[in-house]
Structures are given as structure tokens and as C-alpha cells.
Amino acid sequence: MSRRGGRLTAALVALVALLFAGRWLAGLLADRWWAAQLSPAAATFITDWHVLRLTLAVTGLLIAGAWFVGHLLLVYRAVGSVQIRRNVANLEFREALTPGVLLAIAVAIGAALGLLVGTKPAEWWREVALAWQGVTYGVSDPLSQNDLGVYLAQLPLWRAAHSYLLLLVLLALSVVFGLYLLVGAVRWIEGRPAINTHARAHLGWLLAGLALTLLWGYLLEPYELVAGLGDHPDQQAWRATIVAPLLAGVALATAGLSAAWAVRPRHTLAAAGWIVLASASLVGHWMVPPALGGADEPIVPPKARERFDRMAYGLEALREVRLTQGAATEPPALPSLWNPAIVTRVAASDSTSVLTADPAMIVVQGRSRPMWLVARTLTGGRVAVSAIADDRAGPAGEPLFYQGGDSLPRPVPTSILEVGAPAYHAEAPTYRINRSDEPGVPVDDWPTRILLAWALQAGGLLGPLPQGSRVDWRLSPTERVEQAAPFAQWSAPIPRIIDGNLVWLVDGYLSSNTFPLSSRLIWKQHRVGALRAAFLAMVSAETGATRIFLRPGADRLAEAWAAISHGLVEPSGMIPEAVLRSAPYPSDLFRAQARVLERGDWHVGTLTDRPVPDADELPRADLSWAPDSSGPQLTITFERPGERRLNAVLVGAQDEGRDQVRLFRLDSVTTVPARGTLESRWSRFPSYDALSDSIREEGGQLERGPVRVDADASGIVAYQAHFARRGERGMALAWVSVATDNRLGAGRSLKEAWSNLLGASVPAIAGATQVNRLDDARRWMERADSALRAADWVEFGQAWDGLRRTLGLPVDSAAP
């Protein structure tokens, strides 16, 4: 290569390096400035995170680049000359490449391979940080007597480093061997392989390195088996690990023979070593295990497996309750009649978009009431929250809305809270330019604007901006906590009204696929052996202020990450009391716990409504309300195999800020039929068909809600709400079915259904809908007349809207 070409190449390399360095620096500064808006601890942690990833990336690039360039330079030394074909006019001739060109090609190919492979270590930042911090549980596995922290903190890094080294050795061996074949250093002469001295030494040392890498892998096999990474972790597989040290010894001997072959041409010994190693590996992994027996036998006793499942999935506080009382004597004190799909359609409109609908307890006039908080966006970036009563409906079955200061809900759509622009929510823009008195990073100087525009890919920051402007980004609550604490997986945000302000709560989960001796599940398309709800984050919808806390009862892994975060994750004792009371039971954890109980030796039966018995997806959780008005509960039911009746009910709730999970076990006296059986029996009520036909004749449609199960010490009740859909969003509660053991009831409300179950009344028959509607219309008319006499125009307007809704006439609602 000419001196001019060398300078041009060096300039291009420097330009590329400068672009990468500038992009990294812009990202670091932007993230640091953004994190400083949250807290100094967040800025420190984000900076350390960037530096750690850069260090790992640079280290990986240097190691991989030096590795491949060094091996290609060794090949270059063995090459006398290389000729390439050239065509001039119609003549073809060969031209030898100069040593300088060959050297440049070798370096370029080695550098390209280094770039291709070298960035892999940057993905290990979690493993490196956790291994450096260390985790100690104080509990050892019964097989290898290692602390659980070895499997969670050390083993992932060992496996990552081993796989990286194996990749480097195999790729180098393949490339080098191929090049030696290409230049003739390895060839066939008279039907026999031949190799020159230089190539033999080079390949011999590479083979020695491959053997040592395999030795490392053999030594890791017992750890991987205990960590649940094997295909069949049973007694047979564990007994077969006795061959791992033997295989490691064979690999060490093979490495020695390969090194000896690199020094002296003892081809037979080197080939024999690799033949023995391959044969020993085949015998040790495929022939020895069947001979040892123990196939399909549990690797540990069921009690030990249950203990590790409890630690892995937060089941330490699981309390089992065996119901001894049969049918409940009263209906649920706080029934859940509505569901997310219905309330979303009720709250949606042409000018708004529903963000989320979640159950919550709201204090109204000093009394907690169950309701659905429906958050939706308004024009101009505002967010409005509606509170829809969950345990009741209006006279015509319409949904009832709470309004601030009201003691009773009203059938008029309204908002209980509104957050002005700019609000932080899941559908917020990528970035937002704010005024000087609003949150964000100041962009008064051009260097800051250029760096932020580069990092955010936001060309709008380079245009004219008002004096004192600020830019804020990551406006979605989940995105904010994911950037602030990327070591956890975060859930979708749920709304809560705390001290009169809208706050988003986000659950942070920690998972591991190396937790020893625990059940394996599929969560977020990954195979995991442990899942814990470790953190709780709160994000203000008005200011974007973000705080992350350890959840009460967090395990040692969560505590280790809290220590790594340098104060970003605050102790659980710092959680505001109102937030602690409002936080629901983590949904993903609850669903995983139900799957673990089904798969383990808990004898709870099979999950209800599972389409395929061995399907990997987690089950759906339904809603119920705690009888003491403490908050919403999650429920999942289990059926007795082949009997179509419930065998157990799992209930997850919050108890004074701590996760509480209970398993209600049912017997033949206390159980109720399964969901499919109940729906089939309920649908055979004569009045059910008559109601469906009546609604259909009016141009509507009858829709089923989920089957709810309310289980407590007094017994178990199953019920299902049905809704009449009239028009695009006109939804009304039309029917409620209820069941306890073998008794069924139905009616236009839960009260009527329970009365029918007790035999005290008969469900409304066909045609009664119109009579009931006239009764409702008469009540609305009387209410309107009373309001007119008192000159209460607000009450009159609400009564008039209720009357029009009862008669099926459109209601013009301008409420947001």
C-alpha cells in the first residue's frame, strides 16, 4: 500500500472512531442530564452503566481484534506469495500480490472479525455487575452444597465467558485452517494429508486451546444441571455428572497431545487424543446415563423442590386454607360486576384514547369504594381519569361515575381528575419542548442542543426555540423506569390517585434462568427458573418525578441490585404510606405462581380454561375485592382433572403493604362447578334466552363478562355479569348469574340473582324488560320533576339524561 493510501485509510479509520466516540459521548451526556432530573443517584448510576458497557465493549474489541489479527499475521508469515488473475485486452495473466498488500489484507480481515465478534461482551453488563457485587442467600443446594448466590451471580458470567472463548477459538481455527488450505500449507499428496511445519505448529496450539475450552465446559456441567439448564434434570442426569471430571481429564490430556504435536510432528498421537476425547464425550453423555438408572426420578425430593420453588417465585408467604363450610350464606359484600373491556368501551370516545383501566379502592366521603380507574388522553396532551363504580349499576343497568366530593355515583359520564398538559403517559411523544418553568434539560447553548439532537435524533432542537426552553424525553412511565433501572423488567403502568394527584405505579421484576432446582416457566418469551416482584416505581403524571423502591419482602438478588444502583433504588421503608396501600398484587408474579402450583407436587389440579394442558403461556387472572375493603384481589381457579368442578382457588392481595397469597382448597361439599359447566347451566334458564331475544329485537346484543369467584372463610360464590350493548358504546348491566355448590340463581342484579338462588323469587321472564324500563323511566321522571320544582338545574339535567338513556334515546354528553 502506498504512503498516500495508508494515510487515507488511517484518516477513514480515525473518522469512524470519532463518529462512534461522539455518538457514545452524546448518549452518555444526554442520559446523564436526563437522569439528573430524577435524582443525583440516578445520574451516578446511569454514568456508571455507560462506562461499564463501554469498558466491556472496548475490552471485547481489543481481545477479539488482537486475537484474529494475530492469527492472520501468523498465516501471513507462512505465505510466500499469492497470485491473482488479471485481464488486459484479451490476455489473462497472473500478478503476485506484494507483501505490503498481503499484510494490509490480513490486518483488515482480522479487524473485521474482531468488530463482528468483539461487541458481544458489552451485553454482559448485568452478569459482570452482579458477579462483582456478589449475592449470598445463606442457603445451599442439597446436591453440590453451593450457595444459591453462586448460581444466580457467578454462573451466568462463567457461562458467558466460556461461550465467548469457545466462539473465538472455533472461528479462529476455521479461518486459519481454511487459509492454510487455500495457500497450500495443508494439502493432499498421493492420497495422504500433508502439512508444513509452520501450519502444524499454528493449528496445534489452536487445538490445544480448543481442548482446554472444552475442559472448562465439562467442569461447568454439574453447575448447569443443578441450575436447571439441562434438558432432563433428573436423577439419571445427576448421576452421570460423575463423568465430568473424567472428561475434563481426557480434555487436558488431549490439550497436552495437541501442544506436543505443535512442537513435533507426532500426527498419530494428536489424532488419537481427539478420537479418544470425542469417543469419551459421546459415551459419557449418551451411553453412561442410561446405565446408571434413575430416569424420570426427581433430582431432589418433592419437599426440597417445593422449598426452592417458594424461594424462586415468592411463595414463602403462601397460606393454605381448607374450606370446611359449604355454600356462602350471603352474596359477595363487594362484587366485581364490570370488567376492563366493558369499562374501556364505556369511557372511549372519538376524541379520546383509553390508556388503561385498572381496579382500585377510592375513598369517597371517608369510605373506601371499589371502582375502575380509567385513564384516557384528551386533546392538547391532557389526561383525564374516570372512576366507574364496580359493585353497582344505575337503575337501567348503566355504569355509575364518581365525581370529586360526591358521596354517591351518578350515571352521567364525568372525570374525577384531570391532569393538564404536558402530562406523562404511555402515549406521550418521543420528546417534548417545554417552557422554562416546566421539567426538562435547558437548551440555551448550541453545544447542548447539538448533543441532544444527535442523541435523540431530534432535528427540531436545531431550529429556533424560545428563550429558556427545556427538552424532556422518555415521557412514558414504563420507559422512564426502564431507562433509570435497566436491570429489571417493568410492567405496564397502572393509575392511582394519591393525595389528589395522578400517579403511575410500575412493578419491577427480576428473573433468572439459573435458579437451582426450581420449576421452569416461559415468561416474556424467555425460559426462567425464578421470578420475583422486586421493585415498585412511582411516576408523577404531572411532573414526571420518578422514584424506585425495593418492595417489602424483596429477596437477596433484589437487595444486590439496590446496592449496585448507588441509592437509585430506595429502601422499602421509604415508600409513602399512601403508595404502599394503593399498590396492587403484582399480576405477572401471581400468574407465574399459579403455573408453578399447577406443575409442582401441590395437588391443586389443572388451571381453568387452559386450552392445552402443557401450554407454556401463563394463565389469566380474574378480579375480586377483599371483604374488608383493603383493595382488589387477583384470583385463579384450579379444576379437578376430569370432574369439571373447582379444586382450589388462588387469591393474591396486599396486606398492609406486603404481598399475601392464599390457596383455598375445596372438597366435594365446598366446591362449585367449573366455568364451562356453570355457563352451560346458566344459559339454560328460560329467562336468559328471553332476555337475549328481547335485547336483540331492540338492536342490541347480550355479552358475557368473566366468571368471578369470591372465596373466603365463609364459603365460595361464583357469579357472572352480562351486558347489553346498544349502539357503539352504550353498555348496561342486564343480567347477573350466581352459583354456590349446586345451587344456581339469576336476575337483573346481584341482589335479585341471590334471591332467586335462595328460592325467594323468580327471574324476570320475557317481556318484563319493557315493564322494568317503564318503572325506571317513571323514577327518572319523578326525580326530574322534583329537581324542577327546586330549581336544581344540575340535578334536572342529570335526571333528564337518565330518562333519555332509559328510553334508548341518544344523550349529548360534553363531559370529558
Question: ∠ at Cα 414 (413, 416), nearest 5°?
Answer: 140
d(CA 625, CA 336): 7
pLDDT of 688 reads: 81
d(CA 145, CA 673): 46
For 441-471, the pLDDT digits (tens) are 998 888 888 888 888 888 888 888 888 889 9
Count other Cβ atoms within 10 Å, centred on residue 546: 25
For 259-282, the pLDDT digits (tens) are 999 998 888 888 999 999 999 999
Query: Mean pLDDT: which of 199-213, 685-699, 727-741 is highest?
Result: 199-213
Question: ∠ at Cα 486 (481, 487), nearest 5°?
Answer: 125
Query: Which is nearest to 785 in space by CA: 805, 812, 803, 770?
Result: 803
DSSP per position, 649-698? EEEEEEETTEEEEEEEE--TTT--B-HHHHHHHHTT-HHHHHHHHHHHHT
Question: Higher pLDDT residue, 126 or 411?
Answer: 126
pLDDT of 816 reads: 35
> What separation in angstroms does the CA of 743 have from each of 298, 639, 719, 756?
43, 18, 12, 10
What is the average per-residue pLDDT within 211-219?
96
Sign of CA dihedral 116, 121, 124, 127: positive
The answer to whether residues 452 and 444 touch, using CB atoms and an 8 Å cutoff, is no
What is the average per-residue pLDDT within 376-398?
88
For 130-165, the pLDDT digits (tens) are 999 999 999 999 999 999 999 999 999 999 999 999
pLDDT band at 84 (very low <50, low <70, confident <90, very high): very low
> Helices 125-133 and 40-78 meet at what angle, rounded to 10?
110
The answer to whether residues 68 and 129 touch, using CB atoms and an 8 Å cutoff, is no
pLDDT above 80 (res 508):
yes
pTM equals 0.87
d(CA 672, CA 326): 10
Strand 489-490 to strand 501-512: parallel, antiparallel, or no bridges (unpaired)? antiparallel
For 37-66, the pLDDT digits (tens) are 999 999 999 999 999 999 999 999 999 999
Instruction: Report which secondary-structure segment, H or E, holds 228.
Output: none
For 326-355, the pLDDT digits (tens) are 666 788 889 999 999 999 988 886 567 899
For 517-572, the pLDDT digits (tens) are 999 999 998 999 999 999 999 999 999 999 999 999 899 999 999 999 999 999 99
For 643-702, the pLDDT digits (tens) are 888 999 999 998 877 889 999 998 877 888 888 889 888 888 877 877 887 788 777 788
Question: ∠ at Cα 503 (499, 504), nearest 5°?
Answer: 155
Query: Which is nearest to 84 in space by CA: 94, 73, 72?
Result: 94
pLDDT of 280 reads: 92
pLDDT above 90 (res 245):
yes
Count other Cβ atoms within 10 Å, centred on residue 409: 21
Please enumerate in sequence order all residues whose Cβ is within 8 A of that of 45, keeping only pairs 6 or more positions apart, or say none.
35, 484, 564, 565, 566, 567, 568
Peptide bond into 464 cis (omega under 30): no
* Residue owning grid cell 473485521: 112
pLDDT of 784 reads: 80
DSSP state letter for 405: T
Count other Cβ atoms within 10 Å, centred on residue 225: 24
Q: Please list the residues that pair with 432 across neighbouring strands.
A: 472
pLDDT above 70 (res 734):
yes
